[in-house]
Structures are given as structure tokens and as C-alpha cells.
Amino acid sequence: MKIVIELFIIFLIVTLLMFLILKRLADKRRMKDRIKEFLPSHQVESTVDQVKKTTFLKQFFLNMSTMFKNVRFSDSTAKVLLESGSKLKPEEFLALRILTAAGLGIVTGLIKLPWFLAILAAFIGFVLPKISLKRKRKKRLSRINYQLIEVLGMMANSMRAGFSFMQAMQLVGKEVSDPLGPEFDRVVRQSGLGIPLDDVFEELVERLPNKELEVVVRAILAQRKSGGNLAELLETMEETIRGRVRILEELHTLTAQGRMSSWIITLLPVALGLYLSLVNKEYFSPMLHHPLGWVMLSAASVSILIGWAIIQKIIRIEV
């Protein structure tokens, strides 16, 4: 049964590679024909040279992603990609997850580990890119609070120096790094195209879901309708956000022990199992080859995950 599964996997991989190679050759030929039809000969050579510079792996990845172009993805996937600042499209992200899962599954099979570990490795490879993307999203959004203090102070000082509101936002777009800098620059460009400022700021809050940023946006929009000293308002919000950030840092320090305990308690059984499997394989082999061992490992895994989730729930305090 194991040989049949391995042969089937090899057949699928070879078939997929042949399809992608033939598709790439056909796309190249079609592209060259269209370039020759619409461009002069000297421009054709330069364009073809640029296409040749594309690496094989990148072309393979792009060709594979086109297979999922017509797949309907959930809004949450596109939302996470947008909030994380990733340039990948949903179909490219799915192709990346499939390639990672196939790679880990094949590597696990080549080192002759049990078949259920190969399936587990493939599942981990499929889930790992999404976990990494969510971690990148969380890290990107966490920088907003610290950047808002700098941005509000910069805008307040600029407006006191005679800048208009849009000029102050343009300055922020040039001087501040990701995520607020490029997003404020996008707001300025969209406003220059005639899009109402209310709609532009609503889209900004959707792309960067942050409570402090939402409060700032609501305050700015209300001030533009009712009037008042915008520079003073920005300075007041700067002090408020600075206080909230200070409280968050204190909570982060107080919960550091709980977070460290969650990782130690979670990883200690896993590390112990790996140590026993490497040092004394005969002692640990019943856990991997006997049905009772599989049940015990499954129950231990579920218990570890439940304990980790409970600890994370305890140490997560919202301000």
C-alpha cells in the first residue's frame, strides 16, 4: 500500500511538472508572436531579454498560481494579505501553501519516516504560510501605535509652521516608513484624484484596522465638518495615544512570565519526545508504531493545544 501511494505521488508530481513546462513554452511562444506583431524588431529583442531574466522558480510559481486564478477565495484571505502588506494575490498564496506542503511531505517521505508523519508534515507545510502571514500582519499592525505618536506630532508641527492638512499628510507619506507612510501617501493620491476624503479615510481604516487610528480618523473628519484648531487637536490625541502605549508596554512586561511559561509548557513534551526518539529509539518506537501509542500521542497533542490556548486567553488583556 505504501509503494502504491508513493508511486501515485510521484506520478502526480511528474504530471504537474510536465504540464507547467509545456504551458510555459506555449506562453513564451504566444508572447513572442504578439511582441513581433506589435513592436519593432529592436524593441522585440530588449523585451525578450527582460523576460529571459525571470528565474525558472519564479516562472514555475507564477504558472502554478494561474491554475487557481478562477478559484473563488474567501474575503478573509484577501483581507489578511492586504493588512499584512503582502504583494501576493490569493491564488499565488494558495500556490505557495501547496508547494510548501508538498515539499515537506516529500522530504519526510525521503528520510523514510512513517506515512502518518509525512501527512502531518504536509499539513504543517500547508498551514505554516498562513501562520507566518498572520504573524507578519500582527507585527505590522502593532507598529501603528508607535508611528501614530510620531505622525501626529509631525502633522501638528507642520500645520503650526503654515502647512495645510494635505501638505502635512504628504510630508508624512514621504518621511514615515511602512505601514503609515505609504498608506498616508495613498490617501493623498486618492484625494488628488477627486475621491471624497471621508471615503478615502474609511478605506484607510479598513486596510489598517487599529482602534487608535480609527479614533484619530473620526476626530479629524469631525473637526473638518465642525471647525476648530486642528493642530491642537492632533497634539491632544498624540498625548492620549502616548499614554495608551505606555500602559500597553507595562502590561506587556507584567505578562512576560505568563507568555514564557506558555511556550515552555507547550514545547517541553515535544522536546522530550524528540530527545527520546533520537537517544533511545527502541524505547520510544511503540509510541510511533503501536495504535495505543498513536492514541496517547493524539491525546497529548490535544491537551497541549488546549493548555496553550487557555494560557494565551489568561495573559491577553485588552486596554
pLDDT in tens, 290-305: 889 889 989 999 999 8
pLDDT at residue 47 tops 50: no
Band of pLDDT at residue 18, cut at 50, 70 and 90: low
pLDDT at residue 319 tops 90: no
What is the reported pLDDT for 49?
Answer: 52
Model confidence pTM above 0.75: no
| Number of Cα atoms under 13 Å in the Cβ half of residue 255 | 16
Band of pLDDT at residue 237, cut at 50, 70 and 90: very high
Region 144-156 average pLDDT: 93
What is the reported pLDDT for 150?
Answer: 93
Contact 100, 130 (CB under 8 A): no
Distance, in Å, from the CA atom of 215 to the CA atom of 218, rounded to the nearest integer, reads 5
Start-to-end C-alpha separation, the chain:
56
pLDDT at residue 40 tops 60: no
Contact 102, 125 (CB under 8 A): yes
The more confidently predicted of residues 35 and 237 is: 237
Distances (CA, A) of 29 to 32, 47, 191, 263: 5, 13, 42, 53
Region 165-177 average pLDDT: 92
Rg (CA), the chain: 27
What is the reported pLDDT for 72?
Answer: 75
pLDDT at residue 255 tops 60: yes
Contact 185, 151 (CB under 8 A): no
Band of pLDDT at residue 316, cut at 50, 70 and 90: confident
The DSSP code for 262 is H
Contact 194, 101 (CB under 8 A): no
Region 196-202 average pLDDT: 91
pLDDT at residue 204 tops 80: yes
Which parts of the chain fold into alpha helices (H)? 2-38, 41-52, 56-66, 75-83, 90-110, 115-160, 165-175, 180-192, 197-207, 211-226, 230-254, 256-279, 281-289, 291-315
The more confidently predicted of residues 316 and 210 is: 210
- Average confidence score pLDDT of the chain: 83
Region 46-60 average pLDDT: 55
